[in-house]
Amino acid sequence: MIAFSAPPSLHIYGPITIHAFGVLVATGVLLGMQLIKKRGAEKGVSEAQLETLMHWCVIPGFIGAHVFEILLYQPERLSSEGILVLLKFWDGLSSYGGFIGGLIGFFYYVKKTFKNPPLFYLDLILQGLLLGMVFGRLGCTVAFDHPGGLTDFFLGFSTPEGARHNLGLYEFLFLLSVVLPASFWAHRKKLGMGYQTAIICGLYAPTRFLLDLFRATDRYDADARYFGLTPAHYCSMVLFAYSAWLFYRLKKGAITQKIA
């Protein structure tokens, strides 16, 4: 069992406090952006356009992450705090909500600005997103904000009720040891357009589905469930179906690899 204590925070002024989670998320965003710029330069994409594209992903992503969290994970807050709770973007984030929001901004800007297929730029963006997620899940690990059920597993984190799975830790380890290396391998092999996206989605979706099966159900803050499954379960099924469809299309040669 791993002894858990909340990481130290730095109080700046008034309500402004710097937490380890926020520092790690910000680090992930910055490093992910640098990786996207590097990959873009390798493919001849304008850095200025990529920076704007990243803003169109990050800002709607954070908005989507919060709105998704409130509507599907904490709907009771709409009754207790009113609709203005949707504007508290710092208070409650869902990773899948972030993906959805980011994709909306991504497709809007790509369709408006670029000539190449969206999949070409999605390959670029996803590897940077993946690097950012590694740091984000490390933040979830130290914050212990994804508690699982009680366990005697040696990686369980101590709580007053007993050791619990730390699902942020498990996802961090999987992203760091499997998904990120697979993404770099796909880049080195110079696989065609779409393979990077298919590999990342195909690895992440079933693993996230499995991890959500271990979510705590006996706590006051347990995730909302719909027909026995969390919102992330349904999103994972959609994501895996997309990955399988994309692999099928790639193997059939139905996706053109011509780049302007």
Terminal-to-terminal C-alpha distance of the chain: 54
Please name the residues in contact with 17: beta carbons below 8 A apart, sequence gap of 6 or more: 9, 10, 11
pLDDT of residue 114: 87
**H or E segment to which residue 248 belongs:** helix 231-251
Beta bridge partners of 141: none
Task: Answer whether 105's CB lies under 8 Å from 133's CB.
Answer: no
| pLDDT confidence tier of residue 41, bands split at 50, 70 and 90 | very high
Query: Residues 160-172: what's their mean pLDDT?
Result: 94
Burial of 134 (0-12, 13-18, 19+ CB in 10 A): buried
Q: What is the mean pLDDT of residues 224-241?
A: 97
Residue ranges covered by each domain of the chain: 20-251
Write the pLDDT tens digit of every residue in 170-194: 999 999 999 999 999 999 998 889 9
Residues contacting residue 173 through CB under 8 Å, at least 6 positions apart: none
Q: What is the pLDDT of residue 21?
A: 79
pLDDT at 9: 57
The total number of residues written for the chain in this structure: 260
Average pLDDT over residues 9-31: 74
Query: Which pLDDT value is given to residue 1?
Result: 61
Q: How confident is the model at residue 18 (pLDDT cuts 50, 70, 90)?
A: low
The CA–CA distances, whole Å, from 44 to 238, 255, 258 equal: 32, 21, 14
Q: Which of 103, 136, 137, 128 is nearest to 51 (CA)?
A: 128
